[in-house]
Amino acid sequence: MTLETPVSAFYGVGEKKAAAYARMGIECARDILYHFPRAYQRRGNIKSLCDVSDAEVVSLLLTVASRPINTMVKGRMTLTKFVAFDDTGKCTVTYFNQSYLADVFKLGATFRFYGKIKVRGNRYEMSSPAYEAYFEGKPLPEFFAVYPLSEPLTQKNVKDAVKIALSGCPLEKEDVIPGNIRDKYSLPPLKKALNDIHSPADYPSLAQARKRFVFEELFTFACAVTMTKNAVHGGRAPIIPQTDTKPFLDALPYTLTAAQKRCAKDILLDLTNKDGTPMARLLSGDVGSGKTVVAALAAYICCSGGYQCALMAPTEILANQHYKDISELFSKLGIKCSLLTGSVRASARKKILAELESGETGIIIGTHALLTDTVKFANPALVITDEQHRFGVMQRAALAEKGKDLHTLVMSATPIPRTLAHIMYGDLDISQIDEMPPGRQKVDTYVVNESFRERLNAFIRKQVSEGGQVYAVCPSIESEEEEGLVGLDFCEETEQKPKMKNAVEYCDKLRAALPECRIELIHGKQSGAQKDKTMRAFAAHEIDVLVSTTVIEVGVNVPNASLMIVENAERFGLSQLHQLRGRVGRGERKSYFILVSDSESEVAKERLNVLKENSNGYKIAEADLKMRGPGDFLPHGEHRAKQHGEFTFGIANLCDDMETLTDAFACAEEILREDPDLSSGEHAPLLKAARRMYGEEMKTVN
């Protein structure tokens, strides 16, 4: 077996299970080894029966006191029931439709049981708890991994696949991190780290494994970014003639802010630079700060000089929104603007491509469809990408290959602190729009707890009855047993977090509470077409309340949305919350942003108060960086499956401090000074990892 062995070749993996793995982005042994647990059941925290409370998820060490009896009940269900005890009491244990367990639980044998317990006076009951045989002198592992799943896979299926890969793959020569760097930062080698993250014996081994893989991802990312700086910057780009921008500015129904003018001047100087150095600039600013019009001005400068421009957005709905905003403006200026996405019909696509290749089209707007080989330009000069977190350096370079040494402008709606931006986007110059246009109303922000639930529902009803629309955001998609779990971002002495609300269950409860409202659900596990359909319906006011996960963080403009409620607000980063807040207050309606949190943590309360008291994205970002670390600024998604044109981190989005990111970039720069192409044998695993991280788009690295 090698790391490239397909999971379809694993024992017990048939066609359906292989397809389920593929849906999670798992195709080979390497992928299953890097399919890290989403959390751990802490089964080593053994309690006595006398210390448990009703409905608590607990671990109990119990000895079987009666022979299990199988009983057939109505509906052809079989109950297997027995009594087990410890020094403080007796517990009735029941399993359903598992009659074979009568032979497993031998009289006098001891097991560790894990699950939810019912307490009725001095009677204790458990239904279908997890169990492990216990033998004196052979301690059981404290942690039990819980993996992200896709139907019909079970936790046991994934654990078995991990065991097969761990035992069968030669890992000694596959370590991405060179030995000297592992020694410098006290990081475990690959095989030990994989064993410890999938089956940790204790907190210290789990902490070290997590530390190693956070470093590995950031180090690989740093190497990939650093390797492509020369490719993005190299050569000579078209020198755009000085252009009179007055026709463009006169066509706008408003005046640019001072910050927009300052950023536009930066871009104009880059494009008209006489030495032909390609522009590589990051344009960041809050949602609604006016990045798009600055980018449109850059496109106008290029088109007026006889060149073409491409604008690439991460989703069809955003590409359509940009086209709607920009095409109307450019039609007044006599510049042809076209839209190219995956859903464009073949006949229309052929016409669009012909007009682009002939030079008739000045601006092409689209999704990753712009990366295909059939897209050819007559005289390209500028590539604009929206939402840097959805496109890596490699994708920008791939689009830039449509013409030699193009200018690139990257728009990001996440206000990124300069200290972090210079590390993450060191290949880009930075322009920040740090003021909002006049007339943009302030969104009132409140922090409440569960006791406000009835008032929240009444407020939703009021907003809808007055013609407004509502977002309700949850941190997870579907119901998962969260009690007793330790997350990868754990701290041994962590405070108990409130139970996590999930979008599916929340949507059902909201529909029951507000039957007069049209309520729909959107989340990251839905297909792109389904998400687009739902967002279009919401934008058209065919939906009153949209229940979602953070998939709407990058979303369509809905000026009618006047209220957003975020559940379990303590589980989100401040910058992520601030970006969500930017989805409301975009029209004339007075708008509200309500954070719901039952957390008793003083740190959580302090963080949420920063958002309540502050509306400046950059100040919030700096506070988030100090209080939470850089994880919230790193690109990540709801699951590991990587879509075309989209880049996600698997574990580094949870990193706790700036130091790891800084160290990773320092190590990358040191290695690449000595081995710029990572061509030495020692660095072969690192080069392969960098290419895997960015996929086929990493064409610029030889």
The string of DSSP letters for 121-190 reads TTEEEEES-EEEE-BTTBPPPSEEEE----TT--HHHHHHHHHHHHHHS--TT--SS-HHHHHHTTPPPH
Q: How far apart are CA 378 and CA 113, in angstroms?
A: 69
The arithmetic mean of pLDDT across residues 443-471, rounded, is 94
Helix (H, G, I), strand (E, B) or coil at 561: strand
**Residue at token pair 């004196």:** 136
Contact 589, 462 (CB under 8 A): no
Of the options 1.10.10.10, 2.40.50.140, 3.30.2320.50, 2.60.40.1180, the CATH number for the domain spanning 44-140? 2.40.50.140
Kind plus residue range of the DSSP H or E element containing 59: strand 57-64
| From 74-83, 85-94, 128-137, the region with the lowest mean pLDDT | 74-83
Q: How far apart are CA 230 and CA 74, in angstroms?
A: 72
Share above pLDDT 90 across residues of the chain, in percent, rounded to a whole number = 46
Helix (H, G, I), strand (E, B) or coil at 694: helix
pLDDT at position 286: 76
What confidence category does residue 601 fall into, taking pLDDT thresholds of 50, 70 and 90? confident
Residue 421 pLDDT greater than 60, yes or no:
yes
Other beta carbons within 10 angstroms of residue 109's beta carbon come to 14
Q: How far apart are CA 465 and CA 126, in angstroms?
A: 47
pLDDT in tens, 25-45: 899 999 999 999 988 888 888
pLDDT in tens, 264-291: 999 999 999 888 888 888 888 877 788 8
pLDDT at position 269: 93
H helices of 594-699, in order, are 602-613, 617-628, 658-674, 684-694
Three-class secondary structure assignment of 296-323: HHHHHHHHHCCCEEEEECCCHHHHHHHH
**Residue at token pair 């006489």:** 274
pLDDT at position 401: 61
Fold agreement between 236-433 and 444-614: yes
pLDDT at position 77: 86
Domain boundaries, the chain: 44-140, 236-433, 444-614
Rounded to 10°, the helix 574-581/617-628 angle is: 150
pLDDT at position 642: 36
The arithmetic mean of pLDDT across residues 139-160, rounded, is 89
Beta strands per DSSP E along 190-332:
280-285, 308-312
pLDDT at position 624: 60
Q: How far apart are CA 109 and CA 100, in angstroms?
A: 16
pLDDT at position 435: 82
Dihedral over alpha carbons 476, 480, 486, 488 (to 10 degrees): -40
Residue 427 pLDDT greater than 70, yes or no:
no
Q: How far apart are CA 671 and CA 178, in angstroms?
A: 10
Residue 503 pLDDT greater than 60, yes or no:
yes
**CATH 3.40.50.12780 correct for 444-614:** no
Q: How far apart are CA 537 and CA 416, in angstroms?
A: 32
Contact 557, 321 (CB under 8 A): yes
CA end-to-end distance (rounded Å), the chain? 28
Rounded to 10°, the helix 684-694/393-400 angle is: 70
Complete DSSP assignment for 406-462: -EEEEEESS---HHHHHHHTTTSEEEEE-SPPTT-PPPEEEEE-GGGHHHHHHHHHH
What does pLDDT average to over the chain? 83
Residue 638 pLDDT greater than 60, yes or no:
no
pLDDT at position 696: 43
Residue 615 pLDDT greater than 80, yes or no:
no
Close Cβ partners of 116 (under 8 Å, ≥ 6 residues apart) = 55, 56, 57, 58, 126, 127, 129, 483
Q: How far apart are CA 218 and CA 664, in angstroms?
A: 6
Kindly state the tokens that stand for 412: 């990001």
Calculate the alpha carbon distances from 675 to 103, 393, 600, 693 in Å: 61, 20, 50, 19
Residue 394 pLDDT greater than 70, yes or no:
no
What confidence category does residue 618 fall into, taking pLDDT thresholds of 50, 70 and 90? low
Contact 644, 653 (CB under 8 A): no
Close Cβ partners of 178 (under 8 Å, ≥ 6 residues apart) = 671, 682, 683, 686
Calculate the alpha carbon distances from 248 to 251, 267, 435 in Å: 5, 15, 21
Residue 697 pLDDT greater than 70, yes or no:
no
Close Cβ partners of 257 (under 8 Å, ≥ 6 residues apart) = 290, 433, 435, 436, 437, 438
**CATH 3.40.50.300 correct for 236-433:** yes
What confidence category does residue 493 fall into, taking pLDDT thresholds of 50, 70 and 90? very low
What confidence category does residue 635 fall into, taking pLDDT thresholds of 50, 70 and 90? very low
